[in-house]
Structure 1
Amino acid sequence: MIAIEKLNFGYRKKELVLENLSLHLKPGHIYGLLGSNGAGKSSLLHNICGLLFPSSGSCKVAGDNPANRNPQFLQQVYLLPEEIYLPNVSIKSYLDVYAPFYPTFDNELFFRFLGEFDIPKENKLQHMSYGQKKKVMISFALATQAKVLLMDEPTNGLDIPSKKQFRKIIAGVLKEDQLIIISTHQVKDLDSLIDYVLILDDKKIILHEPVENITDKLAFKQVMSLDEVSTTIYSEGALKGYAVITPNIKKEQSRLDMEMFFNAVLSEKQQMLSQFNKQ
């Protein structure tokens, strides 16, 4: 559904933000796009939806070139940006104006999500807090039922209960012909939600792996002493001992710690990536 080949992108005369980036994504999956602040996550999402254009290389989304901004393409793709700016109108008025742009928009679904986020549907947008506005726009994004749904730092501004509700809602909406990319540097917010991990670093995608493959190759453990494990790729001090990542030689079952995995890839890049490049 998304096919990017050797994409290069930069802002005016500045150096490239994305360089020789290739990426192929399939429908039916929720992808977590991870990267440090300034790594180029937002730039990549904006290239995918056609708000920014590559200087070279190709980007195809649902068989179309996003840069052409074809109406049929725009009806199938929705970007929820990190920063949102909403008019001083009621939720219903906002819906009346913007929902018709998306033929598959489901009003009933939208108001269901609002209810799950505990947002009164009679509210005016400008009278809401930033977190409440974010919940309205998350509900709107999901109700479009767009084939390609891009979410840039969607949990920014949400409190802990709302983040939990966000994960619950997202986990239940994905359709077989739909693809969702969630970009964040708040890696912990994607725990138990995504099924593919993408890590953007050094201007390109350095890792593209299903969660099940990560936990097949690596074991995530808690130990009192580092002497308890023969080979440690990465470790962090914990309340009781250490949290460690080791090669999963014995094929043990463990739960992916997304935040620790991301830190490990950036800190021990060569050793971590070599675990997935083995034949």
Structure 2
Amino acid sequence: MIEIAQLTFGYGKQKLFNNLSLSLKPGHIYGLLGINGAGKSTLLKNIAGLAFPWSGTCTVNGVSASERLPSFLQELFFVPEEVYLPSITAAQFAKSTAHFYPKFDRRQFNQLLSDFDVPTDRALTKLSYGQQKKALIAFGLAANTSLLIMDEPTNGLDIPSKSQFRKVTASALTDDRCMIISTHQVRDLDNLIDSVLILHNQQIAVAHSIDNIADKLNFSVLPSNATNYIYAEENLNGLHAITQNTNVDYTKVDMELLFNGIVSNTTGLTEILNASK
């Protein structure tokens, strides 16, 4: 699906990626995490062919993303962090845009608008920012492209809408579809993504499935005087800690704790995750 090899890119003299490599497969929802300024949006733009590598390659379904061929574009939908929609209704937007996407499902689009509680009889520019974003997310899901990219899609959504977003996005995944969702609000992707990508220090520091992470790491609360952990944060109950899973004792992956451990350059975490088992 997506093959990135030795990608180097930056703006001006600032290098964001240095020989970055990554392989993504269909049938998965990937969560792309990184601190502000790490280059999450820029990496997504390279995948979408909206930015061009200094060196290296990025191909989607065997086609160079930077060529932006029609066959590539009709299988890609990109939901940007900031949305700018025309002064037309959602139905009019679908009528004018859907023909670019051969697998667009109008009935699915209308159902998603209903699920998101987005009015269909008002101009998109008259809606709140959150409703505009939900309208574009609904269109992206209903386009049924093989690649769906969403950059910070939960920004501007209230708590009930974030829950609905997780539900409808999960239901739209198919075996031949790949979704990439970037966020700095790590908990917004809980119970949605099946694979984690962490962009840090110009590289993909982590690229693993949730199951693989749970197989190698344990997430638990330890006494405040404990020392047998790889990374930990203090809380009211003791230490919220990550330890190596040596006893086949599976726990729920705490993505926020994992993310904090990785960006803190905690020695041992990436070594354990990347080691063969």
TM over 0.5: yes
In the alignment of these two chains, the number of paired residues is 276
Q: CA deviation digits over 1:221-240, x for unaligned, max 9?
A: 1234343xx62111122232
| Residue 97 of structure 2: aligned partner | 98
* Inter-partner Cα distance in structure 2 for 1:269 and 1:23: 22
* Inter-partner Cα distance in structure 1 for 2:266 and 2:10: 25
Q: CA deviation digits over 1:12-68, x for unaligned, max 9?
A: x32211110101111111111110011011111111111111111111101111111
Change (3 A) 1:3 1:150: same
- Quote how far apart the aligned CAs of 1:203 are: 1.2
- Quote how far apart the aligned CAs of 1:110 are: 0.6
**Root mean square deviation, CA, Å:** 1.2
**How do 1:72-151 and structure 2 match up within 5 A?**
72-151=71-150
Normalising by structure 2, we get a TM-score of 0.96
- Quote how far apart the aligned CAs of 1:187 are: 0.7
State the secondary structure of the residue aligned to 1:132: helix
- Quote how far apart the aligned CAs of 1:241 are: 2.3
Q: For structure 2, which runs of at least 5 residues remain unmatched after alignment?
A: none
- Quote how far apart the aligned CAs of 1:214 are: 0.6
> Are 2:259 and 1:256 equivalent residues in the alignment?
no
> Are 2:277 and 1:265 equivalent residues in the alignment?
no
| Residue 203 of structure 1: aligned partner | 202
AA in 1 matched with 2:56: G
Q: CA deviation digits over 1:51-89, x for unaligned, max 9?
A: 111111111101111111111110001110000011111
> Are 2:9 and 1:9 equivalent residues in the alignment?
yes
Ranges of 4+ aligned residues in structure 1 off by more than 4 Å:
none
* Inter-partner Cα distance in structure 2 for 1:32 and 1:198: 6
| Residue 238 of structure 1: aligned partner | 235
Q: CA deviation digits over 1:231-252, x for unaligned, max 9?
A: 2111122232221111111111
Q: CA deviation digits over 1:84-128, x for unaligned, max 9?
A: 011111111111111111111111111111111111211211111
State the secondary structure of the residue aligned to 1:165: helix
* Inter-partner Cα distance in structure 2 for 1:85 and 1:277: 40
AA in 1 matched with 2:2: I
State the secondary structure of the residue aligned to 1:269: coil
* Inter-partner Cα distance in structure 1 for 2:241 and 2:19: 33
Query: Is the CA contact 2:224–2:234 (under 8 Å) kept in the aligned structure 1?
Result: no
Query: Is the CA contact 2:230–2:266 (under 8 Å) kept in the aligned structure 1?
Result: no
| Residue 175 of structure 2: aligned partner | 176
